[in-house]
Amino acid sequence: MNKEEILIKTATEKDIIVVYDLVKKLAKFENEPEAVTAKITDYYKAFAERLIVIKIALFNDKIIGCTVSYDTFSTWKGKMFYLEDFFVLEDFRSKGVGQMLFDDFIGEAKTRDCKMVKWQVLDWNVGAIKFYEKNNAIIEKEWYNAKIIF
């Protein structure tokens, strides 16, 4: 497989079921398989309402990776693009697929005239941290995540 065989494109409604499965695989990878409580209908609704942007990586017409992102706003910086999910199937890691998806995410943010992109990475995911640092990301260690789940 070479990079020329990989296609990065915007997902269509028919791709959502596969993306939903990839997000569940991501949760399993992050040791939280039970944490995905959103239903597939939530994905279809968010996609139809254009709340989320889904990009997919294709190899031989098979989805092998994806990003799920959305517009948000930083009161300090301005318009921002948030990377909610970023996942590549294990057999396709370290082959440039993740870089292609990440570059597409950055390009999308620039097209949207965003001032910043943001995402989370688990402290134990050394491979991902190295990947992001290679891409000039600032890994903030002084902020804690906070949330309330309803």
Q: Which of 20, 43, 70, 132 is catalytic?
A: 132
> Going by C-beta distance under 8 Å and a sequence separation of 6 or more, which residues neighbour residue 84?
52, 68, 69, 70, 119
82 is catalytic: no
Print burial letters for 98-109: b (CB count within 10 Å at least 16), e (below 16). bebbbebbeebb
**What DSSP element (H or E) covers 85?**
strand 78-88
Q: How far apart are CA 10 and CA 116, in angstroms?
A: 21
The pair phi, psi for residue 93, each rounded to 5°, is -75, 155
Active site positions, annotated:
132
